[in-house]
Chain A
């Protein structure tokens, strides 16, 4: 069996506003559009991935928050409705998701063998979190690839950013090894925004773009700094600066997804491609791609 590989890594933020603005048939609310800069960014990402051959999407979402270790969905077909508890007016999405349980179990087992606290989620009534659904839909709206859904272990809440990163670095390594041993080609998604300070009021309609902007200049500076580091291939520096980033930008990377992604790609020095940047209800969102399939085995 040929070795499996990560063919692309993506930073793919999940504000439900993006799916709302797309008006897919699965989502109940109807919009007049909005957040086009980001949606066009996702278009560019999809175009970039169009000819890439892969078997599964592996995603870590901060909206499945677990406090007792890292969990993996272990139900092969998940059919239900996801309603965002924060923005239910925007996101009520009827989903039918196929899960690559075999790969999920393999990553689970590998992480467990490395000493991590992990658990398979096998309750058929469980609802997939909206972060996973939004990011996956925006990356692959055809829903023709099975996914591996990984929870966000809130170790930062219990310990510190440093401990969170240690755990996510290990989970990333375990993920890469399990994928390699599986023989599968995978796209990895870190489903998170950058700066994450929201506005606490909503415009009417929510897609009124005349009111959309970053919450503060400081948040903008942090977002641009992180994007530049990604574009320059300075992954280690991102990890080094993560504590300050999480604290000062209230960054959603505190859920571990970005660190996990960088680790799974072996802390790449290759530059990432920026497909789009925009704000959503004041938070900073970048769509980035690391085209690993183009990298040589140096």
Chain B
């Protein structure tokens, strides 16, 4: 009889659920995809329902439930932080009491929501969950493990060593000296939302110059060659729980923080670049110390900061490590996976099966939908569509993409993690320079400066991009476009600054070449994603280019689409041209305005 373990992360942000069967990851999803509330932190009822229905079992058949962190240890940090900051006594006390009355009883909250489950509840620790989620699914027998995020219970940065089926935590840096909070503080300073705008900060950095590095090092954070950081706490406000930074922080740079809607200037780009440089230096030092402690040059990473793909790319190219594997669901959503694996390894079976391609299954662990169920929806809303043979569909789509059409691609199991990897993706031609701003402004409705990522055939990526070792199947590494694929820029083009750099045709694939000639590559293999592989092959046959743009199938502020109805709504309310739902192809011009939301009509008119 099989052993089923349910892993849960919730009540902070990005709730999720994972189901293991005899230690193997068989289903995983984030709650936001079902509730349609981005970074939903509520109990992941829908994600759990999906996991159970995937295997056709009921909650009573689950052998154990693992939760991703230990709320009692976390309370210790909250309590001690409150005691150490008595200047906001009454406000702090109210918050403390609220925490005691709710989250301190996480076991009660869990049992209240797990109706029908009578088995044991196990609690891992936040950074142990991240560490095990990074090491156990990785293809390595031995690895140095780095976990870097805002904060778990007490840990902000953790070094661990994984060997075969064992993990040993070696060292931690504690709250409040957090690399994650440092980066989030700058996210807030530049007017982006903490916990979600960090990608924007990373995307903004290449437009700037690192002019403020020394100012940051002497006023905001100091660190040494072991990556031991010390934040200048008088510049931060998060100890009082109100916001990340205070006026002293702003005075360091002589300007107040950018507010939503205010224009981004060169100054802000320079700040973004400067903090990116500082973060890279700190993480390099941390990784260097970690490798020194473990004597192992395979590195695995998890925690929100591990999603900084620019840093990951630089680490891989450095002399520090030989190999790098980053957990695709690195944020707190991935904690559910770690909790499930920790419970299985600790309580049931400590053995670990190593898969040479990793055990994450391409992170295609979410729900898929049958042709019948899709057909029902299409008929119900009277959509016009054509059903294709799978083989012909890729050829037809490649032709349309070469003509400049933008495709919504919905096929197979949904991705687990923040990246769309070809199952819920918007796909377009990267050779068109205007495609970047078209996608940003007319389809994603987001800031024009944000870059798009390329998907490329694994077999031929080295003909276009600098080497990233064994490939980048999870789009978590940034590398450079090869010089041979770049265009010689004129003096005028080279002298452009800020967002004007966007208007330069800098390579043969300008829509996926960022202003510093970098690209966040995803390599595609036939084994992992057969249909996208065929699509790229067909596109290469059609155009000579084995690369396409791949961006998440959503619009700004919304989670990635989960089911066919979400996809249809997104398709009909943006300027996408074509939608593929498994083998059904829909052309926008042939539809009658079904599911169009009044709020989006203006956008569509301007398309």
Q: Do A and B bind each other?
A: no
